[in-house]
């Protein structure tokens, strides 16, 4: 199949391109000038587009079987709302305009952040979306637009936090850094469930949505298992061979601190974490994968401990290689 990937040069995009070419698809990446195309496999065709208007995108897209939209701008409250909306909704809106009538199917890579916080667990595709961040709101708008413009010819993947080698930003990446630093206090009770997804599983979920012409609607893509934050922190400490945090700060205190910190930040004073980071650390997030398993054929296979081990080993390998160069 002819597959177009937008957002191909990101953390997930470059791995997806590799996976799709290994499945014998003709892959073309649409990138902006300055994107790191060296990270893409040699057999991926690259179209560099200086202006991402709907018209220019339409021409660049041409005709294709599938378009995968991985464009996104993730970040917390420190990134202007307009930039978050542009990176997660406006670009997608222009991609959709360019794709209508030219591509067979549109696969939007969205996020579980569309759900917001404080839901009954586990969260499923039927759980009402209540995004509580600019990022979540922009993703929800993008989902609605894909659904209204392309309907049955589209699929939406709601990814949980993806972690793995090369990840510089996810909750798990930050968690590993904090644990490695030897944190004695951990923000949050540690009892909340979290359900991250190892990179290989996320890529297999997206590749399935490309291959399966009959799947439509939203699918949650999360890892093999949910675990308490305390378990994840202890696993991370074990993999890193450091002592785990000794004290867990009650969630209420963390949330109040984050709200106080928001006021301080508004006056220009630094504070170590934002309200959404406090939510990320303290809220329950576990996902029901029944729909993805049954209809998409998605079967996550990498356990949390294995994923953490692979991530830490790859980072250590990369550091060693860097020091040898």
Ligand X SMILES: NC(=O)c1ccc[n+]([C@@H]2O[C@H](COP(=O)([O-])OP(=O)(O)OC[C@H]3O[C@@H](n4cnc5c(N)ncnc54)[C@H](OP(=O)(O)O)[C@@H]3O)[C@@H](O)[C@H]2O)c1
DSSP labels for 79-145? S-HHHHHIIIIIHHHHHHHHHTTTEEEEEEEEEGGGG-S-PPSSB-TTSPP---SHHHHHHHHHHHH
220 near ligand X (CB under 6 A): no
List the beta bridge partners of residue 187.
249
13 near ligand X (CB under 6 A): yes
**Span interacting with ligand X, options 4-12, 98-106, 231-239, 274-282, rule CB under 6 A:** 4-12
**Span interacting with ligand X, options 30-38, 120-128, 144-152, 317-325, rule CB under 6 A:** 30-38
161 near ligand X (CB under 6 A): yes
Q: How buried is residue 273: exposed, middle or buried, by Cβ count under 10 Å (0-12/13-18/19+)?
A: middle
* Residue 13 CB, nearest approach to ligand X (Å): 5
Q: Which is nearer to ligand X, 13 or 261 (CB)?
A: 13
204 near ligand X (CB under 6 A): no
Between the alpha carbon of residue 130 and those of residues 26, 151, 205, 278, the distances in Å are 37, 22, 24, 17
173 near ligand X (CB under 6 A): no
**Span interacting with ligand X, options 83-91, 222-230, 265-273, 299-307, rule CB under 6 A:** 83-91
Size of the site for ligand X (CB under 6 A): 25
10 near ligand X (CB under 6 A): yes
**Span interacting with ligand X, options 32-40, 115-123, 146-154, 303-311, rule CB under 6 A:** 32-40
Q: Which residues have CB under 8 Å from 68's CB, separation 6+?
A: 3, 4, 5, 6, 7, 16, 107, 109, 206, 209, 210
201 near ligand X (CB under 6 A): no
* Residue 7 CB, nearest approach to ligand X (Å): 4
Please give the residue ranges that form the binding site for ligand X (CB under 6 A).
7-13, 32, 35-36, 52, 70-74, 86-87, 91, 109, 111, 159, 161-162, 170
């Amino acid at each position: 199949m002819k597959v177009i990937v937008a957002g191909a040069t990101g953390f997930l995009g470059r791995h997806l391109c590799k996976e799709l070419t290994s499945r014998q698809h003709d892959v073309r990446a649409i990138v902006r000038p300055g994107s790191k195309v060296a990270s893409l496999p040699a057999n991926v065709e690259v179209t560099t587009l200086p202006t991402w208007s709907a018209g220019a995108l339409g021409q660049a897209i041409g005709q294709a079987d599938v378009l995968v939209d991985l464009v996104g701008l993730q970040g917390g409250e420190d990134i202007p709302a307009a930039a978050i909306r542009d990176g997660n909704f406006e670009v997608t809106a222009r991609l959709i305009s360019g794709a209508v009538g030219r591509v067979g199917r549109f696969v939007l890579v969205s996020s579980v952040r569309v759900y917001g916080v404080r839901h009954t667990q586990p969260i499923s595709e039927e759980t009402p979306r209540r995004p509580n961040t600019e990022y979540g709101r922009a993703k929800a708008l993008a989902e609605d637009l894909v659904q209204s413009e392309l309907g049955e010819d589209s699929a939406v993947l709601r990814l949980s936090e993806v972690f793995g080698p090369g990840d510089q930003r996810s909750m798990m990446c930050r968690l590993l850094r904090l644990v490695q630093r030897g944190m004695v206090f951990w923000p949050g009770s540690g009892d909340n469930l979290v359900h991250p997804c190892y990179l290989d599983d996320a890529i297999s979920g997206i590749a399935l949505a490309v291959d399966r012409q009959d799947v439509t609607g939203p699918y949650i893509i999360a890892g093999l298992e949910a675990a308490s934050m305390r378990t994840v922190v202890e696993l991370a400490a074990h993999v890193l061979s450091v002592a785990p945090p000794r004290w867990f700060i009650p969630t209420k205190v963390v949330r109040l601190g984050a709200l106080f910190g928001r006021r301080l930040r508004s006056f220009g004073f630094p504070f170590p974490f934002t309200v959404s980071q406090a939510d990320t650390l303290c809220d329950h997030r576990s996902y029901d994968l029944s729909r993805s398993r049954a209809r998409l054929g998605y079967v996550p296979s990498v356990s949390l401990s294995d994923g953490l081990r692979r991530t830490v080993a790859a980072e250590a390998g990369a550091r060693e290689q860097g020091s040898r160069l």
